[in-house]
Amino acid sequence: MKPPASIFPRPEPGARVGLALCLVFLLWANWVTPLWADDYCRTMPFNPATIMRIVWGNYNFWTGRWFTTLVTFFVLDLRPYGSLVAFAVVNAAIFTFLVHVVVHMCRAVAGQAAPVYWRDGMVQYLLVFLMLWWLPRTIGEVALWKTGAIGYLWPVAGEMWLLARIVSRRTDMNMAQHVTVFLIATFLEPLSLLLTLVLLGYVLHAWKRGQRAPWALLCSHGAGTLVLGIAPGNYVRMRTMVPSPVMDRLDGLLGNLGSLFDPFWVPFVMMIGIGLFLGRRHLSFPACLRAGHGIWFVGLSLAYMALLLMFPREALAARVSFPASVLLVSYLTCLLFTCPVGRGFSAVVALGCAGLVVMHMVIVVPDLTQLARISRDQVASTREQVARDQPVILPRVTMGPRHKLLYVRKDIIFVGINPDPHNMLTMCFARAMGASSVRSVP
């Protein structure tokens, strides 16, 4: 990649308005989204010693993601003191930051200047936000669920920031930044390994050409990857799962790869396709698909998915593919930026973006509002029954495909209370509510 020297220039036309609109929506979405699933398993009276003991135990017997677990405990254990408000602000800011990084990095990689008019710039930021929301499989799990956002959105935003630094050759960092890079590398195994390999390739390329190589940056990120990967808990947890030979993992990976794409890709691909068609006289067909150096994001996405072979098939949850989706969104963004800037295409993009924003609000706002109401009713009913010293019985939530105990709309997931009072997540909810037991009935 040979982008311009600076990847973070002064604010582009429309950038502040576009990012502000994204931030306002995300603040609301984070505020109304309730606790669910593992969130309740992380709630307890705040005690730093207990938290550290649990984190150390998890590192040795369950997962190497010690920093993720530590942050999650601090966020959820401090909720009586307003930590959920702070989380809503920080999480919304991180998603908005991800939009900012993707736009600037892709503009540099595609070799295109920012639009002249603020309306065109604002629309581009909104489109990138909409792609980051609608193209991943499980946006609710990775961007709104407290435990999931800390474990997936935060590392993706951090690693994309690091990738942007590599692309712009801004790899000289101070001590605080190196510590930040180390912590970012301790979040998510395959993504951390991928960026370590990218850094290694960059360092070797610079060293071979006689240029100054960022060895310190490679060491700080590589150390985080190593601490994450050698955790004894990773191997203890793997032994508890169903044995998964290579072909079984490959079969699961192919299924996961295919399901990255769903009908929500159609409007974005059509819009960009119109732009590429209008610009066919200025750029040949193979060259336009390269989108400058944007095709590299497709390669990184495939490399990330290949690294998922390290996981048994049982561990291939849909949310694990989120980094691959973000890299594919980055490629689409590069394609968008290579489309000709003209009155005709600007009108197409503006109308398309307006329609997508309306669709977004019509679907997401009622869904999240209903999700909040379901949780609020369950908590209120639980507290009422606990006050009467009764075993808690709640109405069963069976919304979504095949009447699962899940609420699903574009994978905004709320785990309902299980009929089995001994189910782990149901027991976590009962403990958090101070109930002797909780179960659901039709």
pLDDT digits (tens, 9 = 90+) for 91-141: 999 999 999 999 999 999 998 888 888 999 999 999 999 999 999 988 888
Asked if residue 280 is part of any domain, the answer here is yes
Position 356 in a domain: no
User: Is residue 179 a part of any domain in this protein?
Assistant: yes
Lowest-confidence segment of 82-86, 212-216, 282-286, 353-357 by average pLDDT? 282-286
Beta bridge partners of 392: 438
CA distance 110 to 132: 18
CA–centroid distance for 313 within its chain: 21
Which pTM value belongs to this model? 0.93
Q: Structurally, how many domains does the chain consist of?
A: 2
Among 290, 320, 349, the domain-final residue is 349
For residue 325, give its domain range. 15-349
Statement to judge: residues 336 and 371 lie in one domain: no
pLDDT of 409 higher than 60:
no
Q: Which of 325, 349, 373 is the last residue of a domain?
A: 349
One domain, residues 61 and 128: yes
Side chain identity at 137, as an amino acid letter? R
Structural domain contains residue 425: yes
Do 435 and 298 have their domain in common?
no
Domain contains 354: no
Tell me, yes or no, whether 369 and 338 share the same domain.
Answer: no
Are 82 and 40 members of one domain? yes
Residues 286 and 432 in one domain: no
Q: Are residues 412 and 316 in the same domain?
A: no
Quick one: average pLDDT of 229-236?
94
Q: What is the pLDDT of residues 314-340, one digit of tens each?
A: 888 889 999 999 999 999 999 999 988
269 and 305 fall within a common domain = yes
177 and 284 fall within a common domain? yes
> How far apart, in whole angstroms, are the C-alpha atoms of residue 189 and residue 279?
40
Residue 358 lies in a domain: no
Query: What is the predicted pLDDT for the residue at 410?
Result: 53
Cα 111–Cα 143–Cα 195 angle in degrees, nearest 5? 50
In a domain, 359, yes or no: no
Q: Give percent above pLDDT 90 in the chain.
A: 67
> What number of other Cβ atoms are within 10 A of residue 82's Cβ?
9
Please check whether residues 398 and 299 belong to one and the same domain. Answer: no
Q: What is the pLDDT of residue 9?
A: 53
Same domain, 234 and 303: yes
* The pLDDT of residue 296: 96
Domain's final residue, options 321, 349, 377: 349
Domain check: are 203 and 94 in the same one?
yes
Mean pLDDT over each residue of the chain, to the nearest integer: 89
End-to-end CA distance of the chain: 57
> Does residue 10 sit within a domain?
no
**Of 33-37, 67-71, 144-148, 348-352, where does mean pLDDT reach its minimum?**
33-37
Lowest mean pLDDT among 7-16, 158-167, 292-301, 417-426: 7-16
